[in-house]
Amino acid sequence: MISTFESFATLARKKVGGGGFPDNPSLNTGLISYWKFDNNVTDELDATTLTLGGGAGYDTGKLNNGVLCDGVNDYIEADNIVLHYPTTGTDDAYTIAGWVWIKVLEPTGTKAIVGNRSSDSRGTYIAQVIYLSNDLRAYVANNTRADMNSGYVITSPTHICFTFTSAAGGTTKFYINHVLRGTITGDTLLPGGKFRFGAYGSGSPGLFMNGVFDNWGVWDRVLTDTERGELWNSGDGLPYN
């Protein structure tokens, strides 16, 4: 069983030798998990296979298919995603990025996009991106918030990326469609918790989002501006082979 952050990274580097991003090879470096969501939630690197909750299914995605959540009780979840590591140290930078859009726009109310929590009280995020009344917001530990772009409506495929320079007192940056929209300085250390797409909470999920998720990945380093631009690819996205 894989038990450490380092072993996830080692497995990832071994696995992507046979695939990944052949035309953009630097994106294979440090890649820990990647989910294409093409009619399954299998991790292409065999690190963390996700679980569909509620009645989540599949629909047309940004690149082939994606996971469709209905906004009622659907979500995607992992109990022990690699983002729960590390819990100490400073050599712990990472990036998570992927595509999302809302299928049914509601004028009010909070909808969870992606993130995790280790308790039901605010202040225990590793990162949480939510959609609140046409406002994308991002949080890290201690409930520190960044309003990424007031009035931003994600009813078309939108690329979201956030990077962490360090879990202890580091800097978290949030990008939308390859544009920096928010920066937070503060701890992101967590003892565990549920990591979810399309729902929110450490126990029973809530704040369900009606939308599609496609091609999400996790790296054990901060991607460069060039690499983030390659994933965005002028809005076309970058296939993972």
Domain of 141, in residue numbers: 5-16+30-234
Residue 161 is assigned to a structural domain of this protein: yes
Burial degree of 11 (CB within 10 A; 0-12, 13-18, 19+): middle
The pLDDT, as a whole number, for residue 134 is: 62
Highest mean pLDDT among 44-53, 107-116, 229-238: 229-238
Assign residue 143 a region: left if phi > 0, alpha if psi is -120 to 50, beta otherwise? left
With respect to residue 179, please indicate whether it lies within any of the assigned structural domains: yes
For residues 8 and 78, is the Cβ–Cβ distance under 8 A? no
Residue 240 within any structural domain of the chain: no
Contact assessment for residue 71 and residue 200, using Cβ atoms and an 8 Å cutoff? no
Let me know if residue 241 belongs to a domain. no
Tokens, residue 146: 């960044």
| The total number of structural domains that make up the chain | 1
- The answer to whether position 55 is within a domain reads yes
Query: In angstroms, how far is the first alpha carbon of the chain from the final one?
Result: 26
Domain assignment present for residue 51? The answer is yes
Residue 24 lies in a domain: no
Question: Would residue 85 count as lying in a domain?
Answer: yes
Query: What is the structure's pLDDT at 2?
Result: 35
Pick 4 or 102 by higher pLDDT: 102
Decide if 96 contacts 83 (C-beta within 8 A). yes
pLDDT at 23 over 70: yes
Amino acid at site 71: G
pLDDT of 52 higher than 90? yes
Greater model confidence, 130 or 173 = 173
Answer with the residue of higher pLDDT: 132 or 184: 184
CATH number for the domain harbouring residue 93: 2.60.120.200
* Tens digit of each residue's pLDDT (9 = 90 or more) over 78-127: 865 545 444 444 456 888 899 998 887 766 677 888 876 655 444 334 45
* Res 56: pLDDT: 96
Cβ atoms of 240 and 36 closer than 8 Å: yes
Most confident of 11-15, 37-41, 138-142, 153-157: 37-41
- Higher-pLDDT residue of 105 and 31 is 31
**pLDDT per residue as tens digits for the range 141-196:** 555 666 555 556 678 899 999 888 865 667 888 888 999 988 877 665 544 567 78
Average pLDDT over residues 60-66: 95
